Each structure stands twice: as C-alpha cells, then as structure tokens.
Amino acid sequence: EPEVTQTPSHQVTQMGQEVILRCVPISNHLYFYWYRQILGQKVEFLVSFYNNEISEKSEIFDDQFSVERPDGSNFTLKIRSTKLEDSAMYFCASSETSPINEQFFGPGTRLTVL
C-alpha cells in the first residue's frame, strides 16, 4: 500500500541553525500539507501546498518557514533559524485529487532544538 515517508525520523539541532525536513508524498497525490505537534498538545496545521504554490498557511508559518517541491517527488519544510519552541513532531500529509479527500500522513520527524 502506498505511504507517505519522512526523513529523518529524528533531527537534533542547535538554536539558530537551519533545518530541512523531507517528505515523499504518495506519487499521484496533488495536495500536500505540513502539520506539527508539540509534545502533549494537539496537531496543528502549518501549510498547504498545491500546484507548486502555497494554498494556505497558519499564523505559525511565519517568515522562518518555507516549503518547496524541488523535484516532483520530494516535499520539504525548511526552518531558517530554529528556536527552542520549534521542537515538535512534524507531520507531512498528502491527498489525492481534491483537498477534501482523506489525508495520508507520514510517520513524522521529531525535531529537537537545543
């Protein structure tokens, strides 16, 4: 069964460093998303991406964040200058031909900012 994959599974970084989280969505999917979940809190939407551009972003998704689909298969989330409060699980998701379709989530990347 096709699945969303994410790398790395765990990333440790120093405050102020740049990180890139990588996702490979399901191949025929057209809509892509990033969510995050701070430990013990609810899952929060960050950004949606369709047709090579951002469709919607939340207040959390400020200028420190960017997304890219560089090669037609990968979908990346970059945090330019990490802060302690960016420590969280980051989930990538994708959906098929319509944004209302079910979303398939990856296993997540645990980001720890020291």
Partner 1 sequence: DAKTTQPNSMESNEEEPVHLPCNHSTISGTDYIHWYRQLPSQGPEYVIHGLTSNVNNRMASLAIAEDRKSSTLILHRATLRDAAVYYCILRDPANAGGTSYGKLTFGQGTILTVHP
- Positions touching partner 1 (CB under 8 A) are 4, 31, 33, 35, 42-45, 48, 50, 55-56, 58, 91, 93, 95, 98-108
Beta strands across the sheet bearing 5-7 = 5-7, 19-24, 75-79, 65-68
| Residue among 77 and 108 whose Cβ is closer to partner 1 | 108
Q: CB 50 → partner 1: shortest distance, Å?
A: 7
Coil, helix or strand for 85? helix
Report the DSSP beta bridge partners of residue 6. 23
Q: Report the alpha-carbon distance of residue 41 to residue 51 in Å, rounded.
A: 31
| Residue among 16 and 44 whose Cβ is closer to partner 1 | 44
Q: CB 46 → partner 1: shortest distance, Å?
A: 9
| Residue among 12 and 43 whose Cβ is closer to partner 1 | 43
Unique residue bearing structure tokens 């990490």: 82
Q: CB 24 → partner 1: shortest distance, Å?
A: 14
Other C-beta atoms lying within 10 Å of the C-beta of residue 70:
9
Does the bond joining 8 to the residue before it have cis omega, within 30 degrees of 0? Answer: yes
Q: CB 35 → partner 1: shortest distance, Å?
A: 8
| Residue among 54 and 114 whose Cβ is closer to partner 1 | 54
